[in-house]
Chain A
Amino acid sequence: MGVLLGLDPWSIFLVSVLGSLPFYLAHWEEYFTHSLVLGMLNGPTETETLAIILFLVTGVNGLSWWKETTSLFGGITLQRYKMIVYLAIVMSIFTALQSLYSGLRKARAQGVTLFTSFSQLLPITIVWISTVLWICFSPLYMEHPVWFIATFGFVFSTLIGRCIVQRICNEPFRMFYPVLIPLLVACANTLSRIALGYVEFCWHKAYNDF
Chain B
Amino acid sequence: MLNFVGTKLTMIFRAPLADEYTVLILAGVSSFIGWTHFVVSIIREMCGVLRISAFTIPYKLKK
Q: Which residues of A are interface residues toward B (Cβ below 8 A)?
A: 138-140, 144, 147-148, 150-151, 154-155, 157-158, 161-162, 165, 168-170, 178-179, 181-183, 185-186, 188-190, 192-193, 195-198
Contact = CB atoms under 8 A, between A and B. Distances in A.
Contacts of B14: 196
B31 A155 contact: yes
B24 interface: yes
A147 B21 CA distance: 10
Nearest to B26: A182
Given A140-B24, A161-B38, A169-B58, A151 B31 contact: yes
Given A139-B20, A140-B24, A155-B31, A195 B15 contact: yes
Interface string B4-18: 000000100111111
B1 interface: no
**Chain A contact surface mostly:** helix
Interface residues of B, number: 27
B20 A150 contact: no
Contact of A193 (B15, B21, B38): B15
Contact of A165 (B17, B18, B23, B42): B42
B21 A140 contact: yes
Contacts of B32: 150, 154
A190 B38 contact: no
Given A154-B31, A182-B27, A183-B31, A169 B61 contact: yes
Given A147-B28, A169-B61, A182-B31, A158 B16 contact: no
B63 interface: no
B20 A179 contact: no
B31 A147 contact: no
Nearest to B39: A161
Interface in B15-53: 15-18, 20-21, 23-28, 30-32, 34-35, 38-39, 42
Nearest to A179: B34
Interface centre among B18, B27, B28, B32 (most CB of A within 10 A): B27
A176 B25 CA distance: 23
Contacts of B16: 189-190, 192-193, 198
A189 B38 contact: no
Interface centre among B24, B26, B35, B42 (most CB of A within 10 A): B24
B32 to A, nearest CB: 5
Contacts of B21: 140, 144
26 contacts: A140-B21, A144-B24, A150-B28, A151-B27, A154-B31, A154-B32, A154-B34, A155-B31, A158-B34, A161-B38, A161-B39, A162-B38, A165-B58, A168-B58, A168-B62, A169-B58, A170-B62, A179-B34, A179-B38, A182-B26, A182-B27, A182-B31, A189-B20, A190-B16, A196-B15, A198-B16
